[in-house]
Structure 1
Amino acid sequence: MTYNEIIDCLYDLQDKDKVVFKAKKLGIISNNSLGIYHKDLKVIAKEIGTDNQLALQLFDSGIYEARLLCSKLFKPKDVTEALMEKWVKTFENWEICDSFCMGLFSKSDFAIAKILEWSERESEFEKRAAFATLASYCMADKTSDNGLFEPFFSVIKRESNDDRIYVKKAVNWTLRNIGKRNVDLNRRAIEVAHEILEFESKSAQWIAKNAITELQKEGIRMSDYPRAIYRIPIAKIHEA
């Protein structure tokens, strides 16, 4: 599909009622939106395949759904710091933030550097981008040892008092995902959650309680990354 054909396709799918629904029910408020569900964009992206030049054209169109398509068409290994900075500054809701973070940023060569940098940003969705990228990176990186992830606990603790909904949800998401990486990080994440529980802010209290509930529940789905080290059956983990 050419650029013009894709744009025509997006306008054919336009539904202003969905714009209203997404804003009211899902908190997805966006400029220049046509009202197309994410699942429908995935179908279009699968048909197109990866295409960096087309992805850049779609982003620069300014159409919200075209920008979402960009995150699905661009090759993660071709992402540059300049593009990451260009894109992150435009994020206006959790949907587009998470689409870029999960699909591109967490798989890029600059993931760790940007996680650290963005976690100190003031903008709600730039800060969320740090934690959404890390939450996805935890599951995408199957080979790094615990030493790579343990320093992020201090970042999580530092930002756990941010009461903005899309920041605190991402901080919680990250804590839970690190804790699901393997049995040792699970135990450490629970310890960190109890440390956060000592903070007085409502956001910290929510982050900690939710993480503890999730990380201690029976039958929790846990990975064993890096696999060369963690080969303990999940059943035995719960017996420990």
Structure 2
Amino acid sequence: MELTAQSSTEDILSALEASADPARLAEMKRVGIKTDTAIGLSNPELRQIAKAVGVNHARAAALWQSPVRESKMLALLTFDPGELTQENMLALAGDFVSWEMVDLAADLFVEARFDAEIVSLFAQDDREFVRRTAFAMIAGAAVHRKKEPDGSFMALFPLIEAHAADGRNFVKKAVSWALRNVGMRNVRCHRAAIALAEKLAASDERAKAWVGRDALRYLADPKRIARLKA
């Protein structure tokens, strides 16, 4: 079945099932993707399907209601960010079950809205993948929102410092990712990020020290510093 912008939710779900390859599930599981609802389509394949069917907010909302992992990922690729409300974003995040879902949604959310208020709402939620969303958004915005003032990111450093204490794997890695990406925006941000990373690395708290060391390894790399200065 050829999928187009006119394809219905049912058409798309049928096409996903027809294209599925369960042999991929083992590799997905190996990289930490939850596979109990997966049918076996890769993300490049899903992006191709998203390109074919285009953005359709109502249809994406219907796709999100399916329990199938690939349907939810396709929904995140075809939501209209201009139609996403804060309530929508928080509701979607409550259904996140893997790091890949968070990281794909973070790009969508940043396009819809990026500010300290929405990031803080995600960060204060104790659920692992909802909290990860906050820091995945910071990491993505640091790269893609080039016109965003540096101060918008450095104002989030207290949030980064506070949640560096969260030792859960998918949170602490996202906190480090956020700090690293902010630090690589420019020399000014790099200097501030290095200072925070050094403070965290010296902490007696195990998770904070891990985040600080992880960020420092990245930010202090001579090749990256040379590229930044260039």
TM-score, normalised by the number of residues in structure 1 = 0.87
Q: Which residue of 1 aligns with 2:4?
A: none
| Equivalent-residue separation in structure 1 for 2:114 and 2:186 (angstroms) | 24
| Equivalent-residue separation in structure 1 for 2:225 and 2:191 (angstroms) | 14
**Secondary structure of 1:70 counterpart:** helix
5+ unaligned residues in a row in structure 1: which ranges? 223-233
Contact between 2:200 and 2:208, CA under 8 Å: does it hold in 1? yes
5+ unaligned residues in a row in structure 2: which ranges? 1-6
CA change 1:31–1:85 in 2 (3 A) is: farther
Q: Which residue of 1 aligns with 2:123?
A: 119
Contact between 1:30 and 1:93, CA under 8 Å: does it hold in 2? no
Q: Which residue of 1 aligns with 2:58?
A: 53
- How far 1:59 moved relative to its partner? 0.7
| Equivalent-residue separation in structure 1 for 2:114 and 2:167 (angstroms) | 27
Equivalent residue pairs, number: 224
**Percentage of matched positions with identical amino acids:** 27
Q: Residue 68 of structure 2 aligns to which amino acid in structure 1?
A: I
Deviates further, 188-197 or 141-150:
141-150
Q: Which residue of 1 aligns with 2:180?
A: 176
Deviates further, 197-206 or 73-82:
197-206
Q: Which residue of 2 aligns with 1:159?
A: 163
Cα-Cα RMSD: 1.8
Deviates further, 145-154 or 186-195:
145-154
Q: Which residue of 2 aligns with 1:101?
A: 106
- How far 1:62 moved relative to its partner? 2.3
Q: For residues 35-92 of structure 1, give each alpha carbon's deviation from its aligned partner in whole angstroms, at most 9, with x where no partner exists.
A: 2111110111111111111111111122211110011111212211121121100001
- How far 1:206 moved relative to its partner? 2.1
Contact between 2:116 and 2:156, CA under 8 Å: does it hold in 1? no
Quick one: which of 168, 185, 188 aligns to 2:189?
185
Quick one: which of 11, 14, 18 aligns to 1:8?
14
| Equivalent-residue separation in structure 1 for 2:121 and 2:31 (angstroms) | 28
Q: Residue 47 of structure 1 aligns to which amino acid in structure 2?
A: A
- How far 1:106 moved relative to its partner? 1.0
- How far 1:221 moved relative to its partner? 7.4
| Equivalent-residue separation in structure 2 for 1:217 and 1:32 (angstroms) | 40
